[in-house]
Amino acid sequence: MCSPRGGRGGGGAPPPPPHDALGAVVAQESGFEAVWSSSLEVSAARCLPDASLLSMAEYLQAAANMQKALSIPVVADCDTGYGNSMNVAHMVHEYQDAGITAVCVEDKLFPKMNSFVGGSQALLPDSEFAHKIETAKAAQDGDDFFVIARTEALISSLPLSEALSRCHRYADAGADAVLIHSKSKKKDQILEFLDEWSGRLPVVVVPTTYPDWHIDDVERAGVSVVIYANQGLRATVSSLRSTFRSIYETGDSTELEDRIASVEDIFSLQRLADWRKLDV
């Protein structure tokens, strides 16, 4: 799920990350203005690690399913672009053909590992990643396509100066926005980045480890898009766990009925009434 800047009635709020079309529709219903198709969530939905195990086609299918169900854009997490610059060009062609208008690629090596997994998170040399960004922009058809360049410099424990120089390099290469990722428990690193960056391109953040940052303050700090990248998945797991445990322990679902969505609610999310009009 993403919240673009100004959201919530003001003009923009970023995307939450649902892992399927149903979750995406619930995010849209909540008022978000875009939906993040998260590699972590899409992998977790298959109960697989977020480690480049799924293919581009599988990530694309998940993002395209979301986009078909939505009237707001999907921002597709495309990891490293699934290989080298040739893979990036192919990715852009395929995602655009599927109606996706925004992709995010990150400067880690392929195969990548989720950013919050400990251990080494090696990065591609900035010149090679800049070439991927140039390739992505050259591969897009028309103007209505947004390429977010994500640096994992801070995730790799490199200094802020490295994150900044990488983002400037990616901006020079034609990126439409930069995503500065951090695993710090405090937002200070991001604030320092924003201070030095001086608004050269829109900035995207993912406040997973520093959640205590109200959207109004995020906006005031100069961030354009906030991605709530895994709260939907984590809520789903907690809810499923307590639901299944309750049924197993009590022997029926009576206690839950007021707390879980009704079957009619599901029919409504599926737009069943519209579908039935076709069945004359």
- Strands across the sheet with 35-37, in order? 2-4, 225-227, 203-205, 177-180, 146-151, 102-106, 74-77, 35-37
Q: Which residues of this chain interact with Mg ion, rule CB under 5 A?
A: 39, 77
Helix ranges (H only) for 30-84 are 39-45, 56-69
Q: Is 217 a catalytic residue?
A: no
Which residue(s) pair with 114 in the sheet?
Answer: none
Contact 146, 178 (CB under 8 A): no
Contact 192, 160 (CB under 8 A): yes
Alpha carbon distances (Å) from 211 to 122, 141, 228:
26, 37, 9
Question: Residue 39 interacts with ligand SPV (CB under 6 A)?
Answer: yes
Question: Residue 206 interacts with ligand SPV (CB under 6 A)?
Answer: yes
Give 57 or 138: the residue with its C-beta nearer to Mg ion: 57
The binder of 206, among ligand SPV, Mg ion, none, by C-beta within 5 to 8 A per type, is ligand SPV
Q: Which of 52, 135, 151, 230 lies at the binding interface for ligand SPV (CB under 6 A)?
A: 230
One character per residue 66-85, x = contact with ligand SPV (rule: CB under 6 A):
-----------x--------
Question: Which two tokens mark 62?
Answer: 């998940």
Give 50 or 176: the residue with its C-beta nearer to ligand SPV: 50
The phi and psi torsions of 148 (rounded to 5 degrees) equal -100, 125
Give 30 or 242: the residue with its C-beta nearer to ligand SPV: 30
Burial of 228 (0-12, 13-18, 19+ CB in 10 A): buried
Segment interacting with ligand SPV (CB under 6 A) among 32-40, 140-148, 166-174, 189-197: 32-40
One character per residue 173-192, x = contact with ligand SPV (rule: CB under 6 A):
--------------------
Report, as residue numbers or ranges, the catalytic residues. Answer: 50
Q: Which residues bind ligand SPV (CB under 6 A)?
A: 17, 38-40, 50, 77, 114-116, 206, 208, 229-230
